[in-house]
């Protein structure tokens, strides 16, 4: 991979940062603000991970995760379109295709074609995998609205209309477990709901809180601080796009799953900036307790598997975890470079500190990536002297 191609990949990853500024009509579950399309995409990918046991045998769950991570990228150009607003959907589809072609064309040709194919498969909704992903896309705003005490009455009416006669009505046949749970919540049926689905629903509702945990890093346009939900979406995309730059053989599916859940403990522990001052032992204890509580919401088998994946990321001993750590560390570096210093200025970061706390971790997992960024890093710090 040439520097020119890596430059294309980083240009794409920087451009899609704009998805964090596209608001949807659904509110985050604490009612404080509208959800944005980047954190929505992260939440949906987690839905696919957690609700995978309900997928049919011919569903490729990891492909569904990829679909959901990138399905709304086109909204950077065309915006979000609420289902309850009169809309020319054919016109929207045409504009979204143009947007997809523009955005994916920022990538090297082979990668561009591959991602456009994934996006197109989701849009066509003709395969079992795409139908499963679509069902999740219909479920999430329904469950979020039901969990939001502050949601206005008209939002609940949209949910009812959607389930009774709208596109989500197909859940009755295509995802009966989710349909039964939603209609039970609405009081439309009194059937006792399975404990395992209820546990997974409770987990998915709880992790929505990650969207209200704010980090030191800002968006690439410096308009506000990034939250940990949209950050998790962005670095999952980083992993997908930059996987070929790993210094070791990795299982990209495991890497992406790690990154989807790696920051969930921040719901309880908060974000601890890499350049901030904190007691590592105290922070580890708080995060372990948070992992106990949050992963403990899941059914036993899934709880054990995801907790182990989180522990693996934290230990950073495996090849998959080393690369996952690399992209987790490099994304804020690029955001800081895009914003003229960002949190480096706020925390008075030196070049030596950056290398000591960030550089070697990126270089360990993706040396070509860190090497490529050196000229920009060197230039920024030299101008600060």
Task: Return the structure tokens found at 178.
Answer: 């989710």
Say whether pLDDT at 274 is over 90. Answer: no
Tell me the C-alpha to C-alpha distance, in Å, between residue 305 and each of 92, 236, 264, 269, 311.
40, 19, 15, 21, 10
Say whether pLDDT at 278 is over 90. Answer: no
Q: CB burial class (10 A; 0-12, 13-18, 19+) of residue 137?
A: buried
Say whether pLDDT at 364 is over 90. Answer: yes
| Span 372-382, average pLDDT | 93
Domains and CATH numbers, the chain: 3-204 (1.10.3210.10), 213-384 (1.10.3210.10)
**Per-residue pLDDT at 317:** 94
* Cα 296 from Cα 199, distance rounded (Å): 9
Residues 6+ apart with CB under 8 A from 320: 250, 251, 254, 255, 258, 312
Helix (H) or strand (E) holding 225: strand 225-227
**Per-residue pLDDT at 192:** 84
| Span 162-175, average pLDDT | 96
Q: Which residue has the tokens 């395992």?
A: 196
Which of 20, 9, 13 minimizes the C-alpha distance to 222?
A: 20
Q: In this predicted model, what pLDDT tens digit does every residue of 289-300 receive, in sequence order?
A: 999 999 999 999
Three-state secondary-structure class, residue 340: coil
* Cα 187 from Cα 185, distance rounded (Å): 5
First vs last Cα of the chain: how many Å apart? 34
| Span 176-189, average pLDDT | 95
Task: Return the structure tokens found at 314.
Answer: 């934290």
Cβ 56 vs Cβ 64: under 8 Å:
no
**Per-residue pLDDT at 193:** 86
Task: Return the structure tokens found at 188.
Answer: 């439309």
Cβ 152 vs Cβ 143: under 8 Å:
no
* Cα 226 from Cα 211, distance rounded (Å): 9
Instruction: Report the alpha-carbon angle 238-366-372, nearest 5.
Output: 90
* Cα 162 from Cα 362, distance rounded (Å): 45
- Name the β-bridge partners of 27: 34
Say whether pLDDT at 275 is over 80. Answer: no
**Per-residue pLDDT at 385:** 62
Cβ 121 vs Cβ 127: under 8 Å:
yes
Task: Return the structure tokens found at 184.
Answer: 């039970």
| Span 100-121, average pLDDT | 98
- Report residue 308's pLDDT band, with 50, 70 and 90 as the boundaries: very high
Say whether pLDDT at 108 is over 90. Answer: yes
Strand segments (E) across the chain: 23-27, 34-36, 214-218, 225-227
Cβ 161 vs Cβ 84: under 8 Å:
yes
Which of 142, 149, 145 minimizes the C-alpha distance to 163?
A: 142
* Cα 271 from Cα 257, distance rounded (Å): 20
Average pLDDT, the chain: 95
Say whether pLDDT at 21 is over 70. Answer: yes
* Cα 383 from Cα 375, distance rounded (Å): 12
């Amino acid at each position: 991979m040439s520097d020119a191609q890596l430059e294309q990949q980083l240009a794409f990853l920087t451009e899609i940062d704009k998805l964090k500024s596209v608001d949807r009509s659904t509110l985050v579950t604490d009612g404080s603000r509208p959800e944005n399309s980047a954190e929505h995409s992260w939440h949906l990918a987690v839905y696919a991970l957690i609700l995978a046991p309900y997928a049919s045998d011919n569903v490729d769950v990891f492909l569904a995760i990829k679909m959901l991570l990138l399905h709304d990228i086109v909204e950077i150009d065309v915006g979000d379109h609420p289902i309850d607003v009169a809309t020319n959907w054919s016109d929207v589809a045409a504009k979204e295709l143009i947007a997809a072609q523009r955005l994916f064309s920022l990538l090297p040709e082979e990668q561009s074609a591959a991602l456009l194919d994934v996006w197109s498969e989701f849009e066509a909704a003709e395969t079992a995998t795409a139908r499963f992903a679509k069902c999740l896309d219909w479920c999430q705003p329904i469950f979020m609205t039901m969990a939001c005490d502050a949601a206005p009455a008209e939002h609940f009416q949209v949910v009812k209309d959607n389930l009774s006669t709208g596109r989500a009505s197909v859940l009755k046949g295509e995802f009966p477990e989710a349909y039964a749970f939603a209609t039970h919540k609405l009081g439309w049926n009194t059937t006792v709901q399975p404990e395992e689905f209820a546990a997974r629903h409770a987990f998915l509702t709880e992790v929505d809180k990650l969207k209200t945990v704010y980090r030191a890093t800002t968006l690439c346009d410096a308009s506000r601080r990034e939250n940990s939900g949209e950050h998790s979406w962005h670095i999952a995309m980083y992993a997908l796009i930059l996987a070929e730059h790993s210094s070791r053989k990795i299982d990209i599916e495991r890497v992406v799953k790690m990154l989807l859940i790696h920051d969930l403990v921040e719901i309880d522990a908060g974000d601890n900036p890499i350049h901030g001052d904190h007691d590592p032992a105290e922070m580890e204890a708080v995060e372990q307790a948070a992992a106990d509580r949050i992963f403990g919401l899941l059914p036993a088998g899934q709880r054990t598997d995801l907790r182990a994946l989180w522990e693996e990321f934290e230990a950073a001993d495996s090849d998959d975890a080393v690369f996952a750590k690399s992209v987790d560390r490099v994304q804020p570096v690029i955001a800081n470079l895009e914003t003229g210093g960002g949190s480096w200025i706020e925390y008075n970061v030196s070049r030596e500190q950056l290398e000591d706390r960030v550089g070697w971790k990126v270089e360990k997992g993706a040396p070509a990536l860190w090497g490529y960024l050196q000229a920009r890093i060197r230039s920024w710090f030299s101008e600060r002297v």
